[in-house]
C-alpha cells in the first residue's frame, strides 16, 4: 500500500510552533506597546488580516502597487498626492513609506526564524509522535513525507534515531564539503536504515542561496550572516499562488508531490486547512477512486467542506460535525469512482497519538464502525 504523509502547521504545534493565525496574535502581544513601530502595529491589529499570511500578502500587494502605475499616481511630479488629516496637509513620501514596509517585512521574517527554529526541548515529544506515525509505513517502501513546515522536525528525528535517513534532494559536494540541491532523491545503496523521503514544499530555515544561485543546506536555522550567501531560500507565508513556487527547488519538489499523488493509495494530512492551490492534487487522488484521504485537525470537517470540497455543511449537521471526533464521507467522482474521506477532529500531541494511530489503522482497513 502506497502512503503519503502530508504535514502542515498543525503537525508542529506539539513542538511549540504556532499556526499562522496564532503566530500573528503572538506578534501583536509582543509589539502592541511598541509605539515607535506604528506601521507594524497597524498591520498586526488589522481585523481583515486573519493570520500572518494575510499580513505578508498585503505588503507584497502594496509593493507591487507602488512599483506600478498606481504608485506613479501617488508620486507624479506634476501633481503629487497630498494626504490630509484635519488641517494637516503633507505630500506622500514614497521612499519613507517603502522603507517602512520593508522594515515591517524584515521584522516579521526575523520573527519567523526565531519562532520556528527547532528547540531540543521538544525532542521527547518528537520521538513519541514520529515513532508512532512511522509505524504506518512498511519499512521496505520507505516513508514519504511532504510538508509545508520550515522546521527541522523530521531531520532531527532521523538524527536522534540514527535508524532513519532523510533523503531530501540535496547531495554532498565532496570537493566543496557542502550539501547542494540536486533534486536527487535516490537512496544510497550502501546505507542501512529506513529511507525517509522528505519534500519541503516551502523550503527550510537552513536552506541558503549562494551568489551563484546554488541552493545549499547549511544545518543553521538562521538568517544568513556569511557573505557567501545572498539570502535564505524560503517561501514566506503568503496566500496562493506563491510566485516562488515556479522557481527551483520548489518547482521540482511540487512536481514530485503531484506525481506521487497520482498513484498513492492513502494520504494522511495533519494540520492543514486546504487553503492552497495544491488542492487539485488531493481532488485528483479522490477522483481516481479506491483511495483514502485521512485528515487530522481539530477543525478538519470545516476545512474539508469550506476549502477542499467548497461545499456548505448541511445546517442540520453543523452542530454534530463540531462535536464529532471522527467522520467519514464517500467521495463520488463524475465518472462514478468512489473514494473515502475520513476526518479525525483531534489535535496531534503526545496524549492523543495512540488514539489517532488506532483511528488511522481502522480507517485504512475499512473498519465498518466508520
Phi, psi of 132, deg, nearest 5 = -75, -45
Q: pLDDT digits over 185-228, tens only? A: 998 766 678 999 999 999 999 999 998 889 999 989 998 888 88
Q: Please give the share of the chain, as a percent, with pLDDT higher than 70.
A: 95
State the Cα–Cα distance between residues 144 and 367, nearest whole angstrom.
Answer: 24
State the Cα–Cα distance between residues 23 and 34, nearest whole angstrom.
Answer: 17
Distances (CA, A) of 172 to 59, 169, 334: 37, 10, 47
Distance of CA 187 to the CA centre of its chain: 25
Distance of CA 254 to the CA centre of its chain: 12
pLDDT, position 56: 96
Instruction: Decide if pLDDT at 78 tops 70.
Output: no
- Do residues 38 and 45 touch, judged by C-beta distance below 8 A? no
Beta bridge partners of 164: 194
Residue where the block lists cell 475520513: 342
- Contacts (Cβ under 8 Å, ≥6 apart) of 253: 169, 199, 200, 201
Beta bridge partners of 199: 146
Compute how many other C-beta atoms are within 10 angstroms of the C-beta atom of residue 126: 20
Query: Which DSSP letter does residue 308 get?
Result: I
Q: Which residues of 3-12 are buried (b: 16+ CB within 10 A; e: fewer)?
A: bbbbbbbbbb
- Do residues 215 and 181 touch, judged by C-beta distance below 8 A? yes
pLDDT, position 130: 98
DSSP structure string for 14-74:
GGTPPPHHHHHHHHHHHHTT-TT-HHHHHHHH-TT--SHHHHHHHHHHHHHHHTSHHHHHH
Phi, psi of 121, deg, nearest 5 = -65, -15
Three-class SS state of 258: helix
Beta bridge partners of 327: 343
- For the CA atoms of 179, 219, 168, 13, what is the dihedral angle to 10 degrees? -170
Distance of CA 329 to the CA centre of its chain: 25
Q: Please give the share of the chain, as a percent, with pLDDT higher than 90.
A: 72
Instruction: Decide if pLDDT at 84 tops 80.
Output: no
Three-class SS state of 145: strand
Q: pLDDT digits over 285-339, tens only? A: 999 999 999 999 999 999 999 999 999 887 777 777 777 899 999 999 999 999 9
DSSP structure string for 240-253:
SSPGGGGSTTHHHH
- Do residues 332 and 291 touch, judged by C-beta distance below 8 A? no
- Contacts (Cβ under 8 Å, ≥6 apart) of 66: 74, 94, 97, 98
Q: pLDDT digits over 268-282, tens only? A: 999 999 998 899 999
**For the chain, counts of helices (H) and of strands (E):** 12, 15
Q: pLDDT digits over 156-168, tens only? A: 999 999 999 999 9
Burial class of residue 125, CB neighbours in 10 A (0-12, 13-18, 19+)? middle
Instruction: Decide if pLDDT at 122 tops 60.
Output: yes
State the Cα–Cα distance between residues 58 and 50, nearest whole angstrom.
Answer: 12
Residues 7-31, mean pLDDT to the nearest whole number: 96
Amino acid at each position: 500500500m502506497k502512503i503519503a504523509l502530508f504535514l502542515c502547521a498543525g503537525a508542529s504545534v506539539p513542538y511549540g510552533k504556532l499556526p499562522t493565525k496564532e503566530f500573528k496574535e503572538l506578534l501583536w502581544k509582543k509589539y502592541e506597546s511598541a509605539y515607535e513601530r506604528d506601521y507594524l502595529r497597524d498591520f498586526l491589529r488589522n481585523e481583515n488580516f486573519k493570520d500572518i499570511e494575510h499580513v505578508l500578502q498585503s505588503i507584497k500587494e502594496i509593493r507591487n502597487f507602488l512599483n506600478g502605475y498606481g504608485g506613479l499616481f501617488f508620486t507624479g511630479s506634476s501633481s503629487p498626492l497630498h494626504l490630509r488629516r484635519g488641517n494637516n496637509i503633507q505630500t506622500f513620501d514614497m521612499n519613507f513609506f517603502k522603507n517602512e514596509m520593508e522594515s515591517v517585512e524584515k521584522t516579521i521574517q526575523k520573527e519567523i526564524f526565531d519562532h520556528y527554529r527547532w528547540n531540543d526541548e521538544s525532542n521527547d515529544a518528537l520521538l513519541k509522535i514520529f515513532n508512532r506515525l512511522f509505524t504506518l509505513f512498511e519499512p521496505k517502501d520507505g516513508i514519504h513525507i511532504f510538508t509545508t513546515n520550515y522546521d527541522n522536525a523530521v531531520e532531527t528525528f532521523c538524527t536522534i534515531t540514527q535508524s532513519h535517513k532523510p533523503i531530501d534532494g540535496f547531495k554532498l559536494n565532496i570537493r566543496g564539503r557542502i550539501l547542494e540541491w540536486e533534486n536527487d532523491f535516490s537512496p544510497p545503496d550502501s546505507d542501512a536504515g529506513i529511507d525517509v523521503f522528505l519534500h519541503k514544499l516551502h523550503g527550510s530555515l537552513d536552506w541558503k542561496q549562494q551568489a551563484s544561485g546554488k541552493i545549499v543546506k547549511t544545518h543553521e536555522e538562521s538568517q544568513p550572516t556569511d557573505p557567501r550567501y545572498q539570502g535564505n531560500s524560503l517561501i514566506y507565508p503568503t496566500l496562493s499562488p506563491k510566485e516562488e513556487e515556479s522557481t527551483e527547488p520548489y518547482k521540482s519538489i511540487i512536481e514530485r508531490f503531484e506525481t506521487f499523488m497520482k498513484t498513492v493509495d492513502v494520504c494522511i494530512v495533519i494540520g492543514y486547512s486546504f487553503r492552497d492551490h495544491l488542492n487539485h492534487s488531493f481532488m485528483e487522488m479522490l477522483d481516481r477512486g479506491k483511495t483514502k484521504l485521512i485528515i487530522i485537525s481539530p477543525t478538519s470537517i470545516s476545512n474539508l467542506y469550506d476549502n477542499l470540497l467548497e461545499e456548505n455543511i448541511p445546517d442540520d449537521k453543523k452542530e454534530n460535525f463540531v462535536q464529532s471526533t471522527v467522520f467519514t464521507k464517500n467521495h463520488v467522482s463524475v465518472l462514478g469512482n468512489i473514494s473515502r474521506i475520513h476526518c479525525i477532529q483531534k489535535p496531534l500531541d503526545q496524549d492523543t497519538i495512540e488514539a489517532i494511530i488506532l483511528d488511522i489503522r481502522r480507517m485504512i482497513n475499512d473498519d465498518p464502525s466508520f
